[in-house]
């Protein structure tokens, strides 16, 4: 029993447990975040986190931008700024988006503290408890955390190697409407999707936009990887053909550096007004200093050539991962990304990637279990493999260790079943492009 003015007794670890708002029940560490402590150990080959290889960025480019920021714009760079972001940087962001076919107004760009922050602002504006967000299955792990934090549910739409399946989207919308659910928006990563690595075809982009218009559903297009293609650019952004029904999220984290924490949203005008107010309520204003640094970098550096350098680095790592998978795990299925950071691996049905992770860490290799990318517990026999950060040599060693773990799991299962370990391995089948990665 507590007396007036004293804190309520919570659990043994947190005396303020009963004081939290109901929405905090949706706050939980993602499986990706939980891996960082283990994966950061030097002896572990981490194929888990999606960290850009920032060492491919010449430090003098950033140093020069910082020096110019302080020499030419010091008082402004160190001061409070607009809640919408620097006008100069917003003009330059339009140039970046033009590479994917987007034309927009500088007035409709809102600079945020990374695109993750932009997504959180969108969720804050639109989501009430019990609302539904439609998303690909699988989907970006931290987006799922954000949606849960606002007490919304996620309805997953099946994918294949061409991205979200329009017919599955239609069926999902019809089922939810029949149940009387409130559908607030469709969240999608159409280019080099995280975690699956697949790209939504142009025809499907157009069909999905039409479905969204027919059903009065807002589209949130998250595009961190679109410029990191390996051979040919992906289809133009969905926002390029619909400026009223799409909120576009972008970031400099993948094409420059995540430590600068600068992203943006391009939104329909009325939504933009509310995004600015939400931005001011959350952070008052995004960092003037990092905005100025990026603006100077874009003004002086050959940033397009630097993006091309990143493409070459990630292409080499992608090739190393695909070759190692073909050599070490020829009977399994995986996606073949044409850009971005990720490969999506499918295990035999009787394996559980989350349950297998402790054994993998013991063998000094880390990955992200597929269950992290579903809001409904799916993805048990899936895993995301990131090729962006490790060197090709470490990638090959990581896949070798992973193959040993998978083979060990199969042999163990074989010992406790009627099927011997050799027969279990034969039943993996022949590697073919996945018909459905959901």
Q: Please write the tens of the pLDDT for every residue from 356-384.
A: 999 999 999 999 999 999 999 999 999 99
Closest to 254 measured CA to CA, from 63, 396, 116, 120: 116
Q: Is 421 exposed, middle or buried (0-12, 13-18, 19+ CB in 10 A)?
A: middle
Contact 134, 166 (CB under 8 A): no
Q: Please write the tens of the pLDDT for every residue from 88-115.
A: 999 999 999 999 999 999 999 999 999 9
The pLDDT assigned to 16 comes to 83
Closest to 166 measured CA to CA, from 218, 216, 138, 203: 203
What residue has token string 């329009």?
166
CA dist., res. 137 & res. 194, Å (int)? 10
Closest to 386 measured CA to CA, from 412, 407, 365: 365
The pLDDT assigned to 436 comes to 40
CA dist., res. 427 & res. 409, Å (int)? 14
Is the confidence at residue 41, as pLDDT, over 60? Answer: yes
Any bridge partners for residue 155, and if so which? 134
Beta strands at 246-251 and 183-188: parallel, antiparallel or unpaired: unpaired
Residue 430 binned pLDDT confidence (cut-offs 50, 70, 90): very low
Long-range contacts of 231-236 (CB under 8 A, 24+ apart): 231/338, 232/338, 233/100, 234/190, 234/191, 234/192, 234/199, 234/338, 234/339, 235/190, 235/191, 235/199, 235/200, 235/201, 235/202, 235/205, 236/100, 236/101, 236/102, 236/202
Average pLDDT on 202-226 reads 98
More confident residue, 10 or 278: 278
More confident residue, 36 or 430: 36
The pLDDT assigned to 39 comes to 61
The pLDDT assigned to 19 comes to 82
Structure-token pair, residue 140:
């970006």
My answer on whether omega of the bond before 195 falls inside 30° of 0, hence cis, is: yes
Closest to 357 measured CA to CA, from 390, 391, 394, 383: 383
The beta strands (E) that lie in 161-262 are given as: 163-164, 183-188, 218-222, 246-251
For the chain, domains (ranges, CATH) are 26-50+306-426 (3.90.1150.10), 59-300 (3.40.640.10)
CA dist., res. 406 & res. 433, Å (int)? 20
The pLDDT assigned to 38 comes to 64
Helix or strand holding residue 293 (H, E): helix 288-300
Q: Please write the tens of the pLDDT for every residue from 215-227.
A: 999 999 999 999 9
- Supply the mean pLDDT for the chain: 91
CA dist., res. 400 & res. 299, Å (int)? 44
The pLDDT assigned to 36 comes to 58
CA dist., res. 51 & res. 369, Å (int)? 17
CA dist., res. 226 & res. 189, Å (int)? 9
Any bridge partners for residue 266, and if so which? 109, 248
Structure-token pair, residue 202:
């142009």
């Amino acid at each position: 029993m507590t007396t007036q003015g004293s804190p309520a007794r919570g659990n043994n670890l947190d005396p303020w447990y009963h004081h939290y708002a109901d929405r905090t029940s949706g706050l939980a560490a993602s499986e990706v975040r939980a891996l960082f402590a283990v994966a950061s150990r030097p002896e572990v080959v981490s194929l888990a986190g999606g960290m850009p290889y920032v060492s491919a960025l010449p430090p003098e480019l950033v140093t020069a931008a910082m020096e110019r920021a302080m020499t030419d714009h010091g008082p402004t760079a160190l001061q409070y700024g607009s809640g919408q972001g620097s006008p100069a940087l917003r003009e330059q962001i339009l140039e970046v988006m033009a590479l994917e076919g987007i034309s927009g107004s500088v007035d409709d760009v809102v600079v945020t503290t990374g695109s993750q922050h932009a997504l959180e602002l969108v969720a804050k504006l639109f989501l009430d408890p019990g609302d539904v967000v439609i998303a690909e299955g699988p989907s970006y792990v931290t987006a799922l955390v954000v949606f849960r934090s606002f007490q919304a549910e996620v309805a997953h739409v099946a994918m294949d190697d061409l991205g979200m399946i329009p017919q599955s989207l239609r069926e999902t919308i019809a089922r939810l409407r029949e149940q009387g659910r409130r559908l607030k928006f469709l969240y999608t990563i159409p280019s080099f999707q995280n975690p699956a690595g697949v790209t939504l075809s142009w025809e499907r982009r157009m069909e999905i936009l039409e479905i969204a218009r027919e059903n009065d559903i807002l589209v949130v297009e998250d595009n961190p990887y679109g410029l990191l293609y390996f051979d040919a650019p992906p289809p133009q952004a969905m926002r390029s053909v619909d400026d009223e029904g799409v909120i576009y999220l972008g970031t400099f984290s993948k094409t420059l550096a995540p430590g600068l924490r600068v992203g943006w949203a391009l939104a329909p005008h009325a939504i933009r007004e509310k995004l600015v107010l939400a931005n001011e309520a959350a952070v008052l204003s995004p960092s003037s200093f990092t905005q100025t640094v990026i603006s100077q970098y874009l003004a002086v550096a050959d940033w397009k050539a630097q993006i091309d350098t990143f493409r070459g680095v990630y292409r080499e790592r992608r090739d190393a991962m695909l070759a190692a998978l073909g050599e070490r795990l020829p009977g399994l299925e995986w996606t073949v990304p044409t850009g971005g950071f990720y490969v999506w691996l499918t295990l035999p049905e009787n394996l559980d990637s989350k349950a297998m992770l402790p054994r993998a860490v013991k063998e000094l290799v880390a990955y992200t279990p597929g269950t992290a990318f579903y809001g409904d517990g799916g993805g048990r026999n899936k895993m995301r493999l990131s090729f962006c950060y490790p060197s090709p040599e470490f990638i090959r060693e990581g896949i070798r260790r992973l193959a040993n773990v998978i083979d060990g799991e199969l042999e163990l299962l074989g010992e406790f079943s009627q099927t011997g370990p050799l027969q279990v391995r034969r039943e993996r089948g022949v590697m073919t492009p996945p018909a459905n990665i959901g």
